[in-house]
Structure 1
């Protein structure tokens, strides 16, 4: 739906703004930060004999060790390669730790239960991209479901079809 691209754009805009370059916007406010961290991607590391989950956790270690209130942290689909309950618990713990540190965090996830953080923490806001599942009739007469994204960002938690 464009979540990963959106995260990368946030990083690029922060760098552009902080270096005094043109930012393509009518108006923009960016804090001056000392660090940018990202946790994007979902691959095993066969050469190191690490699963995708192990890679994710090893990449989170330096973020959790050094992030502070002057850090921008971009996290895409953390713990998506593990069981739902464990992944959700991991994401809650990471989010709560980064909230405690007052870091600037953009966290893209399919864990819809994570949106409850906005109820518990006033600094948290939920956004989502609209999406729909459409039935498409194929040439052979069979119908298949196709995911459609508008690539438009909306305020609030996602409440559309699960994909």
Structure 2
């Protein structure tokens, strides 16, 4: 399935699809969190305008996205795949793209955080070589911080 995945810079017309994917991807955790996860509060139009939001398409359909934050190192600010399209390599392709972008921009590591409650996500990242370097309440949210050193 990975061969038909195309990654391109997100466009203004992608805002609704990206927001819908974020809502669907975080839905399993919302009921167990004291406040909504940050990806549900983001102004995606503004993020897309900033230029570091990338969309993954398969069969012409927006299937996932990744947002970079390079203000203090290279971070994945958000990465999500439509739950109906998960387990098809889309998330792995987005993660690989982020790692290549971080390296190309001169960073030696890629960092991200995920809700502490998202054990499945943490296991997925561990399977891609990410290790936990911090765990704390940040912005009122219980988060696990992960990083991968890039070669």
Structure with higher Rg: it is 1
User: Which structure has greater strand proportion?
Assistant: 2
TM-score (norm 1): 0.33
TM-score (norm 2): 0.34
